[in-house]
Amino acid sequence: MKKSVLDKGYIEVVDTLGDDLTPVNAARVSFGGRSKKFESKDRRLSKFLIKHKHFSPFRHQHIMVIIKAPEFVMRQWYKHVVGIETTSSSVTKDHAWNEISGRYVEVEDFYYPEVWRKQSEDNKQASAGVLDDLQQKRMAACYNEYMRQVEMTYDRMIEAGMAKEQARIVLPLSQYTQVWWTASFQSVMNFIELRDEPTSQVEIQEYAKALKEIMLDAFPETTKLWSEIYLNED
């Protein structure tokens, strides 16, 4: 499954481990029980585990995805990885993260927003609404010219034989990068819970929404139950 995001980004599923039965069977190991088909009793147990924060069984479900996103989105995304890996009290130390390197390959794609948003008056880190039509045209022209200069400068540096690791210093945060991310069901849903909400930056919200659709396809019953309890969705 592959979901397009923004103008050139996407999330693509590489592999999954487990299914909706995995967490309930992991929980039942205490009693030596195991289901072969997901039924109402399994749904009840899964809901109980989620509601009462018995999360360890949900770390047996994993998904591996390729993410193509602007660098500024990846910087926010990586906070979840760092937090999980460095917090000793964390219950979700189950990530793998590998990113493409501008030292080895040339950067080719950049993010071009469809609209330009206004700064929120009551939230220093958020946007609220969009600029008027005149400012939309002016800012689009300004950004396009800036990006033309950036790409021209970068290309000239590469053509001159400059090392890619040095030429990349002129590139902005709008450059697209690519990551392979493997994470447990719990970790992914925690990311969705924190990033698919109004105070998050619009661009990363779009990735969280796309990722949720992917999780609904990979683990439909578990994702629905988790969403009902923690995302307040019926």
| Residues with a known catalytic role | 195
- The span from the CA of 71 to the CA of 204, in Å, is 11
Beta strands in 120-175 (DSSP E): 127-130
Q: Within 10 Å of residue 104's Cβ, how many Cβ atoms?
A: 8
Cα torsion through 173, 179, 182, 188, rounded to 10: 30
* Contact indicator for 168, 156 with CB cutoff of 8 Å: no
Identify which of 97, 77, 62 has the alpha carbon closest to the alpha carbon of residue 9. 77
Residue in 190, 163, 4, 222 with CA at minimum distance from that of residue 95: 190
Query: Distances from the Cα of 206 to the Cαs of 69, 80, 86, 107, 223, in angstroms?
Result: 11, 17, 27, 23, 18
Residue 180 tokens, joined: 């392979």
Rounded Cα gap, residues 13 and 3, in angstroms:
9
The first and second tokens of residue 101, run together, are: 């390197």
